[in-house]
Structure 1
Amino acid sequence: MFEKCGFAVEGTLCNFEPAPTEEQRRNGLQLAPRSIIGALVPEDVPGLPWYADVARADDQGTSSAVSVNGVTERGWGRTLPS
């Protein structure tokens, strides 16, 4: 998902998540053996068409929904420069 949004792949961790318990497996939990680590740095922001909407919603203190490449997210926190 984050690659579609313009985040850079920083690395891949193998077997990073603990193995699910038997109860978690019975309840449908499935974990991938690899975890992809991504990042968004200030230099990436100018090339992201969705970023201005996210920053504006955050600056207004709203939790409005923002659609990024067809995926709608709600409740943004301040983690990127505006």
Structure 2
Amino acid sequence: LVVLKYVRIVLVAVNPYKDVDLYDKSIYKLYRNGNVRQLDPHIFGIAEEAFSSLDQQKQNQSIIISGESGAGKT
């Protein structure tokens, strides 16, 4: 079941309405200080790239999260 997919630079997430274990510590460690472009699409990859650009290139960053009320954005 693919619930995360890149559409150009946008990460699209689909709520599968069941637990898919995408957010545990082992997944986080894969994306932390890793080559996120070689890994599957994930919000941890978006966060890592934003933080890396902020830290290394001193570029301001914005992450926009959008969706229906109750869709699981928090």
Fold shared per TM-score above 0.5: no
TM-score by length of 1: 0.23
Q: Which has the larger radius of gyration?
A: 1
More relative contact order, 1 or 2 (CA 8 Å, 6+ apart): 1
User: What is the TM-score when the length of structure 2 is the normalising length?
Assistant: 0.24
The structure carrying a bigger strand percent of its residues is: 1
